[in-house]
Chains A and B, each alone.
Chain A
Amino acid sequence: QGQLQQSGPGLVKPSQTLSLTCAISGESVSSHGASWNWIRQSPSRGLEWLGRTYYRSQWYYQYAESVKGRITVNPDTSKNQFSLQLNSVTPEDTAVYYCVRGNYHFDYWGQGTLVTVSS
């Protein structure tokens, strides 16, 4: 299986949109055996699963209630990657964000991106 390489800005202003991308190598984002997740970690909230996308003859999406309405996880088959968009961020969204492969457990993790929400 693959490796995950994250990219995106480390500083976002309040009320703006946090955008991160995760490039996958060694496996297809459309693989029927995998799900592609975003998880964040902060001292106040610990490890928090945010959402995922996966392909099983069609694309599926699932999101945590805590961020539903603000979050989008999208696959990009042309670049073999997936992305996270989190809208209307506040300082509470400051955290290390990880892209992660896994269905029932998480076996491959990106390197993590510290995203600070501050003006």
Chain B
Amino acid sequence: EIVLTQFPGTLSLSPGERATLSCRASQTVNGDYLAWYQQKPVQAPRLLIYATSTRPTGIPDRFTGSGSGTDFTLTISGLEPEDSAVYYCQQVGGSPPWTFGQGTKVELK
């Protein structure tokens, strides 16, 4: 099973600043199968990025994904108040289980 470790646990930033969220895998992950999600309280997670760097339709371009191998990054440029949420990375390996990181909470001051 591939374990995903996210850091930092919490980011406290001001609107307009840049947030850099990291996700480290215990084994190499195929970049086609690394995704990021945003979850707000009492809501289901929402897909933000898939295949490391692809945004689904409707996701603002201030969300950018990058990385390869075992290290992946989600960058949020120009934080907006509505970006307060918990962010999860997720991988799909050659065989189940598909796993998630434990999450990074982004708080806006």
- A residues with a Cβ closer than 8 A to B are 46-49, 51, 62-66, 98, 103-107, 109-112
Tell me whether A109 and B50 are in contact in the complex, defined as CB-CB below 8 angstroms, given that A46-B100, A49-B99, A104-B32 are known contacts.
Answer: no
How many B residues have CB within 8 A of the partner chain?
22
Measured between beta carbons, the chain B residues less than 8 angstroms from A98 are 44
Query: Is the beta-carbon distance between B97 and A65 smaller than 8 angstroms?
Result: yes
- B residues with a Cβ closer than 8 A to A are 1, 32-33, 35, 37, 44-47, 50-51, 56, 88, 90, 92, 96-100, 102-103
The secondary structure that dominates the A interface is strand
| 30 residue pairs A–B, Cβ–Cβ below 8 Å | A46-B100, A47-B45, A48-B100, A49-B97, A49-B98, A49-B99, A62-B96, A64-B96, A64-B97, A65-B1, A65-B96, A65-B97, A66-B97, A103-B92, A104-B32, A104-B33, A104-B51, A105-B33, A105-B35, A105-B50, A105-B51, A105-B92, A106-B35, A106-B37, A106-B45, A106-B90, A107-B56, A110-B44, A111-B44, A112-B44
Query: Which residue of chain B is the closest to A103 with respect to CB atoms?
Result: B92
Measured between beta carbons, the chain A residues less than 8 angstroms from B50 are 104-105, 107
Give, as a whole number of angstroms, the nearest-CB distance from A99 to chain B: 10
Q: How far is the CA of A62 from the CA of B46 in the complex (A)?
A: 23
Give, as a whole number of angstroms, the nearest-CB distance from A68 to chain B: 10
Q: How far is the CA of A103 from the CA of B50 in the complex (A)?
A: 11
Query: Is the beta-carbon distance between A47 and B47 smaller than 8 angstroms?
Result: no
Of all A-B residue pairs in the complex, the 9 with the closest CB atoms, nearest first, are A109-B44, A105-B35, A105-B50, A47-B100, A64-B97, A49-B98, A104-B92, A104-B33, A107-B47
